[in-house]
Amino acid sequence: MLKRRKTKTVDIGGVRIGSAAPVAIQSMTKVLTTDISGCLREIRKLAKAGCRLVRIAVPTRADTVALATIIEKSTLPVIADIHFSPARAVEAIEAGAAKIRLNPGNIKKTKDINRIIDACKSHSVPVRIGVNEASIRDLKAGDVSAGKRVGLMLKKMKSYAALFEKRNFEQLVLSAKSSDAARTIEINRRISETFDYPIHLGLTHSGLPEDAEIPSAVALGTLLAEGIGDTIRVSLAADAVEEVKLAKKILSSLHLYPNQHAELIVCPTCGRTQIDVIKLAKRVKKSLAGVSKPVRIAVMGCIVNGPGEAADADLAICAAGEKTVFYKHGRKIATVPLNNIISVLHKELEKF
Amino acid sequence: MLKRRKTKTVDIGGVRIGSAAPVAIQSMTKVLTTDISGCLREIRKLAKAGCRLVRIAVPTRADTVALATIIEKSTLPVIADIHFSPARAVEAIEAGAAKIRLNPGNIKKTKDINRIIDACKSHSVPVRIGVNEASIRDLKAGDVSAGKRVGLMLKKMKSYAALFEKRNFEQLVLSAKSSDAARTIEINRRISETFDYPIHLGLTHSGLPEDAEIPSAVALGTLLAEGIGDTIRVSLAADAVEEVKLAKKILSSLHLYPNQHAELIVCPTCGRTQIDVIKLAKRVKKSLAGVSKPVRIAVMGCIVNGPGEAADADLAICAAGEKTVFYKHGRKIATVPLNNIISVLHKELEKF
């Protein structure tokens, strides 16, 4: 149902980005880059969690030296995150980075950019132009409207991309990030109308998980639902694996990531519910901890939507009282006392 | 920046729904409706949390009797949730319900609907036509495509709304819910193109909070970001107050709900970060527990985006090492040892 916006394709160390490829999840290492074994440990954890690209900060010369070793041993393609220093960009490219990210807010001179383009061309390294609202120093405290901020970000993106296009360099990925969900949505809509390069989505500086998860889901979910976004990075002030888990949840909700676990549909309960459906749902959920089959299970509390959700689920429990009705592919197959329902459910699950 | 779709206005016991009014948060009571004091307790908690409308299930005659007393004492306008029984609808209207919700999947006869319309007209009670994918029995197990499901929901909505329009009854609110975020987005886009009645948004049967929060934020966030939605109900298999809290977070992220608390912007940390920013952010967050001022505070770990986010925040801490730079409205006002930063922050907060 969801139609992705058509884009060019960019290859990042074997991971293809663009509308012809699945949306790729990426994250960043959070330990110091000179902590090579710490970085590699993070990368292995990220890869295991479903991350497909990893970005690494290289603020100093010591970091680009460490980068070369990390790239050699990394199980994921490594992207170098460059700020301020054209020298770091060239070093990272020569160290074997699969992509570099440049920030138009802090590498601005055409001469510097041309030098980086030359290095990218000779090593076939793509570039993300990563505009950050907070890095645009023309934006001043509080006094700039949302529309003007979006306009400035777009202008920055256009003039920067033009420098690459002038040199016939089209291996570009674009991103524009803000810590505000509404502005993130708007700037990416504008970028998607203006360019056909793949887009990297992210809400940045969004905060601790309890504050950041919902705005991230709103911003990235909206854009993905509008067909925009080819790689995503969720930013959380938390372990990077949590970023990958949240990215997977956002993508899954729009069928952009395969569901690998038992999915639990539960009615929210209301004044029609005769038993404690939430307690039952929690029991079912707990019992599913070890189950990695992509089955859809409904736990419902009444006859209004119970049979309908049952028809849509692989297995369903409709609990109208102490006796529960058990459904398989929408067909009633048993009436089961509430106390036995977990074991009946698991007996059926084994057959899947 | 966000332009809401223009709609008619519907008055629900003094709460106006439609594009001329703020998006209203609603929820449902979860105890049995005959538990009058339990219902009233839930309603008080919901109102305190920011809920503006409450819906109550009335499956039996005893429930509509209880409803009359609940309505008399409720601090929020009460909506009666009707299924299967036209008699319950008329009883609820006579009991003083501020709106009724009808389900086209289970009240189908024109004669019954006309009887309800007559009662609504004589008591000036608006109606929500609440289509539920799981209540549409023409949908059969597994074998119907997403597009067909959306088409069937829209068809059901059109034919049902036509019955009301034929009788010149236009006090309508429309909703179409599914447990699937992508289909919820699509059906509501279609409804918004077809009608100009206010739209009630919800992702239904979404599950326990850990499973339901992200799909709810994606579905409702996308629609709201597209200007669709005039009242929202988040469904969680959890305490109804949690539904209101999540609804507020979704709305706040798009500036559709005023921020009443200290908002914390935190960089996600990376290989540039010299100190434990996440630990510092958690300390700041904990210290803000009692603060109900709408201030924006940034906790940043380096110079790439630190000064930029500081410019955008009321107060900011840029922690590049053991000394932190403290900003007020984007202006550096002090260099503070990491250990003292919380007390410096709170001294400044008191001035707001």
Given pLDDT bands bounded at 50, 70 and 90, which one contains residue A58?
very high
Q: Which of residues 195-254 of B touch A (CB under 8 A)?
A: 204-208, 211-215, 217-219, 221-222, 224-226, 235-238, 243, 246, 249-250, 253-254
Inter-chain CB proximity A32 and B271 less than 8 Å: yes
pLDDT band of residue A141 (cuts 50, 70, 90) is low
Please give the backbone phi and psi of residue B221, each rounded to the nearest 5 degrees, phi first: -60, -45
Superfamily of domain covering A10-253: Dihydropteroate synthase-like (3.20.20.20)
Residue A140 has pLDDT above 70, yes or no: no
Query: Under an 8 A CB cutoff, do A134 and B312 touch?
Result: yes
Q: How near does any CA of chain A get to the CA of B268, in Å?
A: 4
Using 50, 70 and 90 to split pLDDT, how confident is the model at B142? low
Lowest mean pLDDT among A54-58, A277-281, B173-177, B288-292: B288-292
- Exposure string for A9-27, b = 16+ CB within 10 A, e = fewer: ebbbbebebbbebbbbbbb
Q: Which of residues 98-137 of A touch B (CB under 8 A)?
A: 103, 105-106, 132-137
Tell me if residue B25 falls in helix, strand or coil.
strand
| CB < 8 Å from B in window 11-70 of A | 28-33, 39, 55-59, 63
Query: Is the pLDDT higher at B340 or at B259?
Result: B340
| Range B93-114 burial, b when 16+ CB lie within 10 A, else e | bebbbbbbbbbbbbbeeeebbb
Which segments of chain B belong to CATH 3.20.20.20? 10-253
Q: What is the reported pLDDT for B136? A: 82
Question: Which band of pLDDT confidence, cut at 50, 70 and 90, is reported for residue A139?
Answer: low
Q: What is the pLDDT of residue A174?
A: 98
- Other C-beta atoms within 10 Å of A258: how many? 10
Mind telling me how many Å the CA of A299 is from chain B's nearest CA?
9
Residue predicted with more confidence, A344 or A292: A344
Rounded mean pLDDT, A235-255: 97
Amino acid at A118: D
At the second CATH level, the architecture of B263-349 is: 2-Layer Sandwich (3.30)
From-to residues of CATH 3.30.413.10 in chain B: 263-349
pTM: predicted TM-score of the whole model, two decimal places: 0.96
Which pLDDT band holds residue B197 (cuts at 50, 70, 90)?
Answer: very high
Summarize the confidence of residues B129-156 as an average pLDDT: 83
Alpha-carbon distance B225 to nearest alpha carbon in chain A (angstroms): 7
In this predicted structure, the answer to whether residue B143 has a pLDDT above a threshold of 80 is no
| Over residues B215-241, mean pLDDT | 98
Nearest beta carbon to residue A205 from set B58, B150, B305:
B305
What does the mean pLDDT of chain B come to?
Answer: 94
- Tell me which residue in A133, A139, A207 faces B266 most closely, judged by beta carbons: A207
| 8 Å CB contact of A30 and B273 | yes
More confident residue, A2 or A218: A218
- The mean pLDDT value for B219-233 works out to 98
Question: Is some CB atom of chain B closer than 8 A to the CB atom of A79?
Answer: no
Whether residue B266 and residue A217 make contact (CB cut-off 8 A), yes or no, is no
* Chain mean position to CA B282: 27
pLDDT above 80 for B139? no
pLDDT of B140 above 80: no
First-residue to last-residue Cα distance in chain B: 27
Among A105, A213, A329, the residue with its CB nearest the CB of B214 is A213
User: Which pLDDT does position A341 carry in this prediction?
Assistant: 94
Residue A143 banded pLDDT, cuts 50, 70, 90: low
The answer to whether B203 and B220 have CB atoms below 8 angstroms apart is yes
What was the pLDDT predicted at B330?
Answer: 87
Residues making up chain A, counted from first to last? 352
Lowest mean pLDDT among A111-115, A141-145, B99-103: A141-145
Assembly ipTM: 0.96
CB contacts of B83 in chain A (<8 Å) are: 304
